[in-house]
Structures are given as C-alpha cells and as structure tokens.
Structure 1
Amino acid sequence: MSRKLKIVLYGLLCLLCVPFVFPTWWMATSSLKPVSDIFAFPPALLPSRWDLSAYRQVFQVQPFAEQYLNSLYIALVVTLGTMAVAAMAGYAFARIRFPGQNALFVVVLIGLLIPSEVTIVPLFQMFHTLGLTNTHWPLIVVPILGAPSVLATFIMRQFFVTLPGELEEAARVDGLGRFGTFARVALPLARPALGAVAIFTFLHSWNLYLEPIVYLSTPERFTLPQALTQFVDAYGGPLWNVQLAAATMTALPVLVVFVLAQRQFIEGLAHTGLKG
C-alpha cells in the first residue's frame, strides 16, 4: 500500500470516528462547564471556564462512592464467575463426547432467545421467597447462570473446537487427566476467547439497568445505571452538569477494561466466527 493511499485511508477513518468520539468528548467536557454553557450552540470543544463543582456535587447528592463500589465489585464477580462457568461448559461441549451432546447445546443456545423481561417476574418472586430482594445476590447469580453465560459458553466452545487434538493427546501421554488437560493445556491457550468473554460480561453487568430497579430499593445498594437517574433537583428536574460528571466517571472503567483487553477481544472474535 502506497504512502498516499495510507494517508487517505487514515484520514477517512479519522473522519468516520467523529460521530462516535464526539458524544463522549462532549459528555466529558460539558461536565466541566457551567450549566449555562452546556447547551450552547454551536457546542464548544473545550470549556470557556473550567468548573469542577459538578464532581463534588456527585458525591453530595447521593452516596455515589458506595454505588460505584457496588457496580465495580458486582461486575468483577460476575465476570470471573461467568468466565469460570463458560470455560468449563465450553470445553465440555467441545471435547467431551456424551449422548445428546448436540441437542443439549442447542437447548442451551435457546436461552439467548429468551428476553430477560420474560423471566424477571418469576425470578423476582423466587428471590423474594428466599429473602434476597434488596440484596446484590440476584445481580450476581442471574447473569452467571443466564443469557450472558450462554453467549460466553458459545464463544468458549467455538474456540476450544479449533484447538488441535494432538495437544490433548500429548497431555494424556504425560499423565494428565481430563481436568488437568483443561486447566494446564486448554485454558492457557484460550486467553483470546477469555478476553472477549471478559469484555462482553463486564459491559453487560456494568450497564445492567432493569434488574437493579426491580430488585434494589435502598440508595446505598444501587448500582451506577440506577444511580444516574437519581441526580435531580428539588423539583424533579435534571442536574445536567452533575449527571454528566457522574456519567463520565461511570464510563471510565469500561474504557480501561477495553484498552487492557482489546487485543484478546479481537483475537477471540476471530477464533469464534463472530467477527463482522
């Protein structure tokens, strides 16, 4: 590829990035503007006067620090739990032969076709009977055993199918059993797929909105998507600069996770047949 063609290609890509990057840039910079400048037209790329008061108000209006920690630890637990369940289930579907294997895998995949809204009422009744409403247990158990885990299992299964069988044969010759082969041979090679699963799962848990508003009623136990709707004034009107500051802080972990795992994410999609 010639240098001129590269310059044209990179210029076109930068131009195509503008519709995706500008809203995030506007959100972050507007959180540092006075309220009167937020909806100025045309929008300014940088604040005319830097104002950090919105970031202080975020923690004064409601217990945002606790809510932030709630979302963070729930997302981490769900991500690790889903990775463990999906890795073992995906390996079993890819490598262990048993009667009805393909039929059972199809049944598992059907879970992707069932919207969460369909099951939310019976799940609420079940957790209410167990005394687990207004706790974080439903937000941890349901994703690990629900649709996000099904998608993760599919990704892991597709990856393990592509691994050469000779690797397992060599492991068995060395005396490793089924679990030893999985833990010491297959799993270390599955880092790209695990990276893709980690990003998908973390994003799903971090952005979960319906389940928290159904199960949680105490502000100290809210997660961030639920908390973002609570930044209002005494008349119920939105506190725009405070909402934008909270949204900016909410988006940071997502960006960090993607930057750290983007290489494994792309490789994982390439090995599972999900790339566009």
Structure 2
Amino acid sequence: MRSEQKKRPEQKRARERRPHRAPWHGTASKAVLYLLLAVLSIPFVYPTVWMILAAFKPAHEIFATPPTLFPEEWTLDGVSKIFTVTPFARQYLNSLYIAVIVTVVSIVVCALAGYAFARIRFPFRDGLFLVLVSALMVPGEVTIIPIFRWVSQLGWMDTHWPLIILPIFGPQCVVGVFIFRQFFLSLPAELEEAARLDGLGRLGIFARIAFPLAGPAIAAVAIMKFLNSFNMYFEPLIFLRSEEQFTVGLGLTQFQDGYGEPMYSTQIGATALTVIPILIVFLFAQRQFVEGLARTGMKG
C-alpha cells in the first residue's frame, strides 16, 4: 500500500512534466492535410471542371493550344442545341429508368444469391460458386453472337428488354453476388439462431435481419450497377436501332451538323449532363460504398 501511495505522486509529477501541445497544433496539421489532399485532387477534378466550362466555349477555343480553363468568349450556342438536334431528353430518360430498374432488381437478386451461398448449405455449393465466379473470365464479346440470336428470336430487337435482363442475370451480376456473399459470411451465427428461436424461417431471417444489416454491400452494388447500366454503350449499339430508343451512350454520338461534322461544344455539354446522376449517387452512398468494398475481403 505504501509503495502504491509513493508511486501516485511520482506519476502525477510525470504527467505535469509532459509537454502540452498547443491548441493550434491539431488545427495546423489538419490544414496541411486538407491542403495536400486538395493538391492531389487537382488531376481528378480538373478534367470535369474543364468539360463543364468547355460547353460554353466556341469550337476554336476547345482545341486551342495551350488549352485554357475559362472561356475567353462565353457562348450558349452549343448548350442550346443539346435537346433540339437529337431527342436527347428522351434518351436521357431511357438511360435513367433502365439504370434504376437494373439497380433495384439486381440488388434483390444478388442479395438472395449471396445469402444462399453464404448461409445455406446445399450440395455442390462451393463448386457452383466457383463456376459462377469463373463467368467473369469470359469476355462479353465472345457471347454477344449467341445472345444476339436469342434476343432476335424473342423479338426483343430495338427494345430495352435486353438492356434490363442481361445486366441483372448475366455475368455482370456475379460481382454483386460475390460482394453480398462476403458480407453475409461476416454476420455472426448467433443472429440466425436467435431468429429461429423467434420462429422465423430462412426468408424471414433474410428479409428482417440479414438484408437490413447489409447497407454497405447494398450501397456498393447499387453504385456499380447504376454506373455500369447508365454508361452502357456496347449492348445498346448491338440491340437498338431507332433514336427514340437510344440511351445516353449512343445519343452522344449523334450530335453532328449538316455536313456530318461533330458538334463538339454540344457533345461536351451533353456529356457533362450525363455525369450528374452518377455524382449524386456516389456522393450520397460513398461512405457505405467504401465500407462495403472493405468488408468484402473480411471472411472467405
């Protein structure tokens, strides 16, 4: 007891002798860190800012050497033609509603498949999952011919059905299944045991416990599916024929003048509009997106 009493004053004096950090020390460190991050972000932010401002430039300024960021001569000629030269508004809505449907349905399908591979034991489970993952190694260009014949036989040419069905049930869905499987593997088994004691079945456990907890995985899959579907170009090029059915990717290639020359400022302005939905989705779900990807490799 006496030794402990002697140690206490010594520990108190040692704490008093420790140098106290000035209150400005933490603020200065944060300021330097933010400044460094701002400088490092320039190569990523500059192209987007240039693209937005280039929509208000005449054509000769877009190709000026050296390039300039702000227009010397502001003009609305290019921006005013975005919705008049082609049915770009209709094409924009086509891409939006296709991306929303693909994202919502893919989350449900991938979550169900990921939960089955993670929490349900059935014959050849691991072998089937290996076959499923191996589909990622097959390039889409290899399977496009049989898919084209299949779509043609179903009468889906020049419709949006192949752009909705293929991303949901095709090889593009495998990554989503993998992310959900890895997330559900990390859930403690005690949750399922407690749910079974309450009388819940497999579907009830998934709908009321597992799926509501999978927020990070849902955000990660949602961003990837929305981004891939909204920016789709190869599949619309194969399956669509009429301008009214075009998506944004094909619509951007149709801005041409009477001589067949590209309308660069109009194309750039339309391209800037296509970035807006992706930025909105990512800004609202970026934290869950990073967390979902981080938890993907926690348990295998």
TM superposition score normalised by structure 2: 0.88
User: What is residue 95 of structure 1 aligned with on the other side?
Assistant: 119
Q: Which runs of 5+ in 2 are unaligned?
A: 1-24
Residues 126-165 of structure 1: pairs in structure 2 closer than 5 A: 126-165=150-189
User: What is residue 267 of structure 2 aligned with on the other side?
Assistant: 243
Q: Distance in 1 between matches of 2:148 and 2:132?
A: 22
Residue of 63, 66, 72 corresponding to 1:42: 66
Do residues 17 (structure 1) and 15 (structure 2) align? no
Q: Distance in 2 between matches of 1:146 and 1:113?
A: 13
Q: Distance in 2 between matches of 1:148 and 1:199?
A: 13
User: Percent identity of the aligned residues?
Assistant: 54
Q: Which has the larger radius of gyration?
A: 2
Structure 1 segments of 4+ aligned residues over 6 angstroms from their partners: none
Q: Which runs of 5+ in 1 are unaligned?
A: none
Q: Distance in 1 between matches of 2:55 and 2:207?
A: 46
Q: Distance in 2 between matches of 1:88 and 1:257?
A: 23
Residue of 192, 198, 215 corresponding to 1:174: 198
Query: Which segment is superposed worse, 151-160 or 18-27?
Result: 18-27
Aligned length: 274
Q: Distance in 2 between matches of 1:210 and 1:118?
A: 13
SS of residue paired to 1:163: coil
Do residues 225 (structure 1) and 249 (structure 2) align? yes
Report the Cα offset of residue 55 of structure 1: 2.2
Do residues 185 (structure 1) and 212 (structure 2) align? no
Report the Cα offset of residue 121 of structure 1: 0.8
SS of residue paired to 1:61: coil
Report the Cα offset of residue 146 of structure 1: 1.2
Report the Cα offset of residue 4 of structure 1: 4.3
Do residues 215 (structure 1) and 239 (structure 2) align? yes
Task: Give the alignment's Cα RMSD to 1 decimal.
Answer: 1.5
Asked whether the equivalents of residues 78 and 263 of structure 2 are also in contact (C-alpha less than 8 Å), the reply is: no
Asked whether the equivalents of residues 63 and 220 of structure 1 are also in contact (C-alpha less than 8 Å), the reply is: yes
TM superposition score normalised by structure 1: 0.95
User: Per-residue CA shift, 1:152-173, capped at 9, x if unaligned?
Assistant: 0000000000011111111111
Asked whether the equivalents of residues 112 and 150 of structure 1 are also in contact (C-alpha less than 8 Å), the reply is: yes
